[in-house]
Amino acid sequence: MSKKLATITLIISILALCLAGVALICAGGAAKDSKKALDKKETEAPKEPVTEEQGDIQYVLYLGTNDKDTTEPVFTPDVAKEKAEEILLKHFGGYTIQEANGGWIDDDKIYREYTLVIYLSDTTIDKVHAAADEMIKTFNQSSVLIQSNKTITDFYSGK
């Protein structure tokens, strides 16, 4: 099972990097402004997880929806998304969810998993862990992958 989890984690990480690249390309001029701001800050990747004291943090959660014991879906995709939204609204003022599909092979058997990718800003790791604890229980998961990304957050309201 740990080989499967490592493979899923790798696939999801690659997808996240691709999505991040697309977002930077789409941002166009905003990316140039962000680069200038990042140049003023330390841009070397930290050896430890990024903390709130080091700058704005975006948390990205990868919530698998297959039962950890049976490897079968816990809920239909629609119900899974509703359950995740209930948890997120309970713990945060807002959220962004993307739907993803992952897959892996173990012992010549193909496994597929509907995954929710959740983006959270303007929060703390303690609040993220509290929500993840509830997700682990609700979706019968062994873990929720959480990435902490240093970012520049700008809630732009126009001129």
What string of pLDDT tens digits covers the 159 residues of the chain? 556 655 555 555 555 544 444 444 434 444 444 444 444 444 555 455 555 555 689 999 999 999 999 999 999 999 999 999 999 999 998 899 999 998 889 899 998 999 999 999 989 999 999 999 999 999 999 999 999 999 887 778 999
Distance separating alpha carbons of residues 79 and 83, to the nearest angstrom: 6
CATH architecture of structural domain 2-151? 2-Layer Sandwich (3.30)
- Predicted model pTM: 0.65
Is residue 139 within 8 A of residue 79, CB to CB? The reply is no
Write out 38-85 in H/E/C secondary structure.
HHHCCCCCCCCCCCHHHCEEEEEEEEECECCCCCCECCCHHHHHHHHH
Is residue 48 within 8 A of residue 86, CB to CB? The reply is no
